[in-house]
A and B are shown apart, each in its own frame.
Chain A
Amino acid sequence: MKSLRDWLGGNSAAVLALFFLVALFTLALMAPLIAPFAPTAQNLGNTLAEPSWQHWMGTDDLGRDVLSRLIHGAPASLFASLLAVGVATAIGVPVGLLAGFLGGWVDDAISRVIDTLLSFPGIVLAIGVTGALGIGLTNAMLAVGIVFAPGLARLMRAQTLVVKQELYVDASRCFGASLSRILLKHVMPNAVQPVIVQVTLLLAVALLAEASLSFLGLGVQPPQPSWGGMLARAYNYMELAPEQMYAPGIAILLTALAFNTLGEALRQALDPTRRRR
């Protein structure tokens, strides 16, 4: 906890990012309490309205309150990022750990598969997987998670290769520790730091992927609100109400920026060559 305060104290951008994310998660969890209107409540007598005291960000093409949809879109976006990165971590970390530690033909085979999967343009593979599994947010983010997994596996493998040379790993092997104990108690904790940084950065990439897929109509399905979906609607009414596209875009940009800032701060804090003590 002290080290967390240490590096946050020195990095005002990271403090800001952390505050933003905490506020956003709170907002997402309490969306129904905070949002002034129901996200799907239509009012066809008051469509594409300018911002007013009643509707702070105006209304969309079906007369729904934009601010309420924005707030209700937050849980979908955050859930999507966490799901995709969770899937990627659950696949990538164990696979990379095993490849790096076992070496030999296991490593060769896994590395070849990783190289191959990394050749796929991520979002295109995600579109293919979503098309096959069926359209929807959960399937889309499972797909994105699968797409991210090889990158994490490669990183974990590289770290494991370094750590497994350490004396304490040899020592525990000499004492007869089991493979799972060596991996979980000795290799994993010492190899995982760069993976944590990467995972934080991936949250931003996943957020952007979710927004893209929802924009394309492959993610969150209407009438459920999502930032990408809101942008897709705003796009259709761009000539009538261009201001509709600003709020969701800024929400995506700031959230992605916050994840990235936090990731970069973690990278600096964990980098042994930059540690002050």
Chain B
Amino acid sequence: MLANAPRLMLVGRRLVQFVPVIVLATFVVFGLLKLVPGDLAATLAGEYATEERIAQIRESYGLNDPFLVQYGRWLWNAMQLDLSRSFQSNEPVLEQIMHRFPTTMLLVVGALLVSLVVGVPLGILAATNAGSRLDVAVTSLSSFGVALPNFWLAMILVATFSLSWGWFPATGAVRFGTDPAGAIWHAVLPSIALAAGGIAEVVRQLRSALIEILSSQYVRTLYAKGLSPSAILWKHGLKNVAVTLLTVIGLLASRLLGGAVVIEAVFAIPGMGSMVVRAAIVKDFPVVQGVVFTMVILVIAINLVIDLLYTIVDPRVALK
């Protein structure tokens, strides 16, 4: 049953635990501004600004107030979905982010799917044949995946599949809302490039978790009972690695969002990643803060959902 008392208690407790995490995270995001060396107002005003202009900027951005007051105001606005305006374009930051959000998410979700679809079978193969040549091959391949710079893989994919063979577009993206097929078409190569590290992570974690389960006492008992190896794997082994898979997905959510930033640069995809890179170079701090804020809230939310899913997949978690 989904809605029993201990589970509801757990959900409530988890939600309460996430409040300080969000407060701290937003504090870090806002604190980024305090790292700017020298006078922030002078930095914003540009090289040739007059004293009056600097004072005016200081006034209009509330830079004369104490730090905590500034933070409080920023958080209050953020909670009302006001992430301030871009220094460059003067557009509301949230609007820009919402415009680019679906493009980045398509890439991240695509990479997550590729990671799981390729990683899970490989992980199972490696674990059920632990110590064999196949296992060594899969494990070496995943060490390779961890060390491979994903933007370099992206370049190789572009050179091969776009420039030489012309199978996929080399750059750009199409909005999923306007043309779903075209959007997926454009997302294929970036998703594969982004997934290289993800596949490796899925293989590693799944392999070690499955090996541990398959060598445990109760699995030995199942063998003794005369159950076939495949029945043991499918009925008992995989049920128990579901928790591991959830953990990996939580881990990947953060990593793929970060990786997307670099991959978007290679494919010239107009997503949140290329937005934050450009903003960091031109010192458009509200945009930088807005993207970092959106991404960290997203990761926190995903991990909250995963925490709750644990209790469904593994009833022992709820009873603890």
Residues of chain A at the chain B interface (Cβ within 8 Å)? 112-113, 115-125, 127-135, 204, 208, 211-212, 215-218, 228, 231, 234-235, 238-239, 242, 245, 248-249, 252-253, 256-257, 260-261, 264
Contacts and interface: CB of A to CB of B under 8 A. Distances in A.
A90 B294 CA distance: 30
Given A132-B35, A215-B262, A238 B163 contact: yes
A130 B280 contact: yes
Interface residues of B, number: 50
A210 B156 CA distance: 20
Nearest to B273: A124
Contacts of B296: 119-121
The secondary-structure label for the interface of chain A is helix
A249 B295 contact: no
Given A123-B258, A242-B163, A231 B151 contact: yes
B281 interface: yes
A119 B303 contact: yes
27 contacts: A116-B21, A117-B28, A118-B254, A119-B296, A121-B254, A121-B257, A121-B295, A122-B254, A124-B258, A124-B261, A128-B276, A128-B288, A129-B35, A131-B32, A131-B285, A132-B33, A134-B37, A215-B262, A215-B265, A217-B281, A218-B281, A234-B155, A245-B156, A245-B159, A249-B149, A256-B149, A261-B143
Contacts of B149: 208, 211-212, 228, 231, 249, 252-253, 256
Contacts of B277: 127, 216-218
Contacts of A112: 20-21, 24
B25 A116 contact: yes
B105 to A, nearest CB: 14
Nearest to A215: B151
Contact of A120 (B37, B155, B261, B292): B292
Contact of B155 (A116, A217, A245): A245
Residue of A116, A128, A218 ringed by the most chain B CB atoms within 10 A: A128
Interface string B18-29: 001100110011
Interface string B193-236: 00000000000000000000000000000000000000000000
A242 B161 CA distance: 13
Contacts of A248: 152
B295 A124 contact: yes
B8 interface: no
A121 B280 contact: no
The 6 closest A-B CB pairs, nearest first, are A131-B280, A121-B258, A256-B147, A249-B152, A132-B35, A123-B258
B146 interface: yes
B176 interface: no
A248 B36 CA distance: 32
Nearest to B301: A119
A108 to B, nearest CB: 10
B300 interface: yes
Contacts of B266: 235
A217 B281 CA distance: 8
B249 interface: no
Interface in B257-291: 257-259, 261-262, 265-266, 273, 276-277, 279-281, 283, 285, 288-289, 291
Contacts of A216: 261-262, 265, 277
A253 B156 CA distance: 13
A132 B163 contact: no
A245 B152 contact: yes
Nearest to A227: B149
Contacts of A127: 261, 276-277, 280, 288
A245 B155 CA distance: 8
B248 to A, nearest CB: 15
Interface string B159-182: 100010000000000000000000
Contacts of B24: 112-113, 116
B158 interface: yes
Contacts of A239: 163
A55 B281 CA distance: 34
Residue of A212, A228, A261 ringed by the most chain B CB atoms within 10 A: A212
A120 B254 contact: yes
Given A120-B25, A131-B280, 10 more contacts: A116-B20, A120-B296, A124-B261, A129-B32, A129-B35, A133-B35, A235-B266, A257-B147, A261-B143, A264-B143
Contact of A119 (B155, B156, B289, B300): B300
B144 interface: yes
Residue of B148, B151, B261 ringed by the most chain A CB atoms within 10 A: B151
A119 B262 contact: no
Contacts of A242: 159, 163
Contacts of B148: 253, 256
A117 B265 CA distance: 25
Contacts of B156: 245, 249
Contacts of A238: 155, 158-159, 163
B255 interface: yes
Residue of B35, B159, B163, B285 ringed by the most chain A CB atoms within 10 A: B35
B299 interface: yes
Nearest to A113: B24
A116 B21 CA distance: 5
Contact of B147 (A135, A228, A260): A260
B163 A119 contact: no
Nearest to A243: B159
A124 B276 contact: yes
